[in-house]
C-alpha cells in the first residue's frame, strides 16, 4: 500500500483527478468505479475541467456504481445516482450504455446485485476503484462487521451511516438499507484509491491504517491491496504515527 499525504483538500483533489485521468489516458476502455460523497466532489469537478481542457476521451470507459441507498429515487438529489449523473456523466457526456448503476427502488434487490456482479465480470473487472471512508470506517456501504467474502449485496445501514447520510438530503429521509459492491470487489479491483479529507476523518484513518486489520474497520482492507493507494490531506493524517517523509 502506498500512502500519499497532500497539504490540503484542493491538492488532494487535484491528485485524485489526475489519477483518474491517467487511468483513462493509459486505457481508454477502463472500467471505473467512483464513490460519491463530499470527499471526491472537488476531485470530480477538477476531473471534468481537465478532461475538457486536455480533450481526454471518456466515450469508451465503463462506469460502475459503488453503492446506492435502498428506497431512494434516482432523481432524489441525495441519491448516488443523482450525484454521479449530475457531476460526472452529464458533464463528461457519458452515454447510458456506458453506465451500470444500482436501482435502489428495485423490488428484486438480489437480482440487482446479481446483475451488477455479472456486469463487472463481463467487463473483465474494475480497473480503478476510488473510494471514500465513512466515519465508522465503512467503504461503499460495507459497514463494520461485514464479511470480506461478499460481492454485491444489500446491507442494513449502521446508525452512524443513517445519521450522517442525512447530509446528502434536503429533508429528513428514512435510510435503512444500502446496496453496495462488496469488499471482494474492492480487493479484486486492479487499482484501489482511498481518499480521506479533514480532521473528522483523522481518527478513523489512524484506526484503518495503524491498528490490526479486522472486520470492524472495513477501510483497513486497503492494506491488503497490492495496488492500494491512500490519498489524504494533512488534517486527515493528523493522528498517524508514521508518515511518509
Ligand atoms: C459513497 C460511499 C461512502 C462514502 C463515505 C464517505 O458512494 O461509498 O462510503 O465514501 O461515507 O462520505 P463523505 O465523502 O461524504 O465523507
SS3 annotation, 8-38: CHHHHHHHHHHHHHHHHHHCCCCEEEECCCC
Mean pLDDT, range 139-149, rounded to an integer: 98
Name the residue of 35, 38, 44, 157 whose CB sits within 8 Å of the most ligand 1 atoms, as the mutation to test its pocket.
35
pLDDT score at 96: 97
Q: Does residue 243 surpass a pLDDT of 90? A: no
pLDDT score at 38: 98
pLDDT score at 64: 98
Q: Tell me how far the alpha carbon of residue 67 lies from the centroid of ligand 1, in angstroms.
A: 9
Read off the C-alpha cell for 129.
476503484
Spatial separation of the C-alpha atoms in residues 86 and 180, rounded to whole Å: 20
Catalytic residue (one of 68, 100, 127, 136)? 136
Read off the C-alpha cell for 109.
434487490
DSSP state of 92: T
Amino acid at each position: 500500500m502506498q500512502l500519499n499525504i497532500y497539504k490540503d483538500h484542493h491538492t488532494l483533489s487535484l491528485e485524485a483527478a489526475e489519477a483518474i485521468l491517467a487511468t483513462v489516458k493509459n486505457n481508454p476502455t477502463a472500467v471505473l468505479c467512483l464513490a460519491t460523497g463530499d470527499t471526491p466532489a472537488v476531485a470530480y469537478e477538477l476531473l471534468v475541467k481537465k478532461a475538457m481542457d486536455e480533450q481526454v476521451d471518456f466515450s469508451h470507459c465503463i462506469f460502475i456504481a459503488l453503492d446506492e441507498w435502498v428506497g431512494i429515487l434516482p432523481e432524489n438529489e441525495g441519491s448516488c445516482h443523482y450525484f454521479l449523473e449530475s457531476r460526472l456523466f452529464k458533464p463528461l457526456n457519458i452515454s447510458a450504455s456506458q453506465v451500470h448503476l444500482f436501482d435502489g427502488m428495485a423490488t428484486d434487490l438480489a437480482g440487482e446485485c446479481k446483475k451488477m456482479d455479472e456486469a463487472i465480470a463481463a467487463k473483465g473487472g474494475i480497473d480503478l476503484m476510488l473510494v471514500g471512508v465513512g466515519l465508522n470506517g465503512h467503504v461503499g456501504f460495507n459497514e463494520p462487521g461485514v464479511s470480506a467474502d461478499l460481492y454485491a449485496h444489500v446491507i442494513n445501514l449502521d446508525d452512524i451511516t443513517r445519521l450522517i447520510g442525512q447530509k446528502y438530503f434536503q429533508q429528513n429521509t428514512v435510510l435503512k438499507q444500502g446496496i453496495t459492491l462488496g469488499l471482494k470487489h474492492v480487493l479484486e479491483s486492479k487499482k484501489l484509491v482511498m481518499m480521506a479529507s479533514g480532521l473528522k476523518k483523522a481518527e478513523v484513518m489512524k484506526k484503518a491504517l495503524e491498528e490490526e486489520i479486522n472486520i470492524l474497520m472495513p477501510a483497513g482492507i486497503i492494506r491488503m491491496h497490492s495496488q492500494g493507494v491512500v490519498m489524504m490531506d494533512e488534517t486527515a493524517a493528523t493522528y498517524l504515527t508514521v508518515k511518509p517523509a
